[in-house]
Amino acid sequence: MFANENITSPRVGELWDRYRVVVFSKIAPGTQRAYSYAWRLRVAPWFAERPINSLTTLDVEEAFASWTGSESTRADALGALSALCRVAVKGGLIPSNPCVGIDRRRGQAPDVAARALTIPEYGRLLDVLPASGPYRRFVLAMVFTGCRLGEVAGLRVGDVDWAERTIKVSRTASPEFQGELVVGPTKGRRRRSVPVVDDLVPILREASEGKGEHDYLFTGPRGGFISSKNLSRALGWHSIRDRVKTFGPGEPALHWHDLRHTAAVFLFEAGLPAPDVQAILGHSSLLVTQLYADTRRLAAQRAVPALSRFLGSQSRGQLGGGESAASSASGLVI
């Protein structure tokens, strides 16, 4: 028996079966799939038979530390359990959410800018893509707009404002629980506008040819949605992506989402200020946007001539014939 166990308190698994529809009503289809998978593999084996009012923050922290898988998959499990506990709080079954306040290991901030393509790598991407057609248009639309793959799939002809040279982004096509693509709001649930650069103009013209205002822009050869799976299959992506960019041991291979990272870096390299980049990408936080600015690397580059001049003026060091510390009364020894 657990210290706080009450035989009248419903068990965690029972609450999930009853209120899963409530949990899912507040999250996107893709998150629904992730939560369902996490629940089945991690949360249910650990907590399904526990009375909801017996859970403590330490219990949840122990589970999170014990679950296998990547940080993101374990975070999905924690998110699913936390969402259910919020429902339980609203129902008066527990006084507070035990998932709040757990201590998690602080990892190194991801180097998302390193995932982006350089200009030469972007050139190699152009070389491996088909010379024309819907799949080439779709991939280049991701690079030029910085939109997520599902957001490109959800664009309609009428979203393009030719007078302002912008595209309104307000929806995304993502896989639902059964795997079929459904159209819903964007990840941030906010509309935004992205620029129509010159290279994107002919792509938009081709994509909209023969279509009405409410038709989807970037459809497949048969008029259906393009997803990450059928895009990869059509292009043989897993066999050609290493010809575009490779990463070190243990790092995942080039992913479609890296094209969004590429667009972010290109926006900064083009000279746009961080708030503009944030608005175009739809980031909720400027801190996320600034990860792409690569200010630390640029600071190190700027330091090379300045620090070299300073150190060179202070000591000849090894370059001057090898002065030793014993023979230098006051000079700086490198």
Which residue is associated with the tokens 């010379």? 131
Do 66 and 161 belong together in one domain?
A: no
Which residue is associated with the tokens 């308190």? 9
CATH number at residue 230: 1.10.443.10
Do 77 and 129 belong together in one domain?
A: no
The pLDDT tens digits for 203-226 are 999 999 999 999 999 999 999 999
Do 126 and 83 belong together in one domain?
A: no
For 27, the domain range is: 12-90
- Torsion angle, alpha carbons of 76, 249, 115, 117, to 10: -150
Do 71 and 21 belong together in one domain?
A: yes
**Most distant pair of Cα atoms in the chain: their distance:** 84
pTM of the predicted model as reported, rounded to 2 decimal places: 0.73
Tell me if 321 is assigned to some domain: no
Tell me if 34 is assigned to some domain: yes
Structural domains of the chain, count? 2
Do 77 and 199 belong together in one domain?
A: no
Residue 176 has pLDDT above 80, yes or no: no
Do 84 and 123 belong together in one domain?
A: no
Do 169 and 284 belong together in one domain?
A: yes
Tell me if 101 is assigned to some domain: no
Tell me if 319 is assigned to some domain: no
Least confident of 1-10, 157-166, 214-223: 1-10
Least confident of 9-13, 187-191, 296-300: 296-300
Do 122 and 77 belong together in one domain?
A: no
Residue 190 has pLDDT above 90, yes or no: no
Of the three residues 90, 125, 160, the one that is the final residue of a domain is 90
Tell me if 314 is assigned to some domain: no
Q: What are phi and psi of 154, to 5 degrees?
A: -90, 0
Do 242 and 123 belong together in one domain?
A: yes
Do 253 and 156 belong together in one domain?
A: yes
Residue 334 has pLDDT above 90, yes or no: no
Tell me if 334 is assigned to some domain: no
Do 144 and 49 belong together in one domain?
A: no
Tell me if 307 is assigned to some domain: no
At 112 the pLDDT is 85
At 2 the pLDDT is 40
Do 19 and 145 belong together in one domain?
A: no
Tell me if 202 is assigned to some domain: yes
**Contacts with 55 (C-beta within 8 Å, 6 or more apart), sequence order:** 12, 47, 85, 94, 98
Of the three residues 35, 57, 90, the one that is the final residue of a domain is 90
